[in-house]
Structure 1
Amino acid sequence: MRLRLLREGESQCKDGRYRYTYYENGKQKAIYSWKLEAKDKLPVGKKDCVALRIQIENLQKKQLLYGRYSESSYTVLDLVERYIRYLL
């Protein structure tokens, strides 16, 4: 087994899966993957999956784009303007 340098929030489970823990709406959540990076090989007998760091990147983009709109008083116009700024 190869030693990997894990970033903040990342860990490896006993079964070999990688896990990223984060908080959303005050609740702890986690995402899992058999691969840490896209170039990693999948363990024998496991189904193909999206690498953990790609999932983290997508999660961070989503949080940056939408933030905590469900807990705030954003209007639809605010969200559209925020989306347009993100695209530019």
Structure 2
Amino acid sequence: MRIALRKISPRNDAPGFAEFLAQVVGIAHARQMNSAERVSWLEELQRNRSKALDAPSWLWNSVVDLVSAHGAAYLQCCRRYAIEENAA
């Protein structure tokens, strides 16, 4: 999936985009834990869930890194596809 940040409407698209990124990060993080750690982590997330839109700097930096990595992976995929198509 290609992420086009310039086309995201803050009011309409940002919540869905944030949910998508949260799922990507959450799934990756959960894979690194055993079952008991996942349960504890989920309880901690639920306990400290904020209703405000202000994100801590560590979270914002992580999102920027994730979007950057996603963009790089997408471009590498496009490059491989182009090379394979050219070879065929």
- TM-score with structure 2 setting the length: 0.30
Q: Which has the higher strand share?
A: 1
Ranked by relative contact order (alpha carbons within 8 Å, sequence separation 6 or more), the top structure is 2
Q: Which has the higher helix share?
A: 2
- TM-score with structure 1 setting the length: 0.30
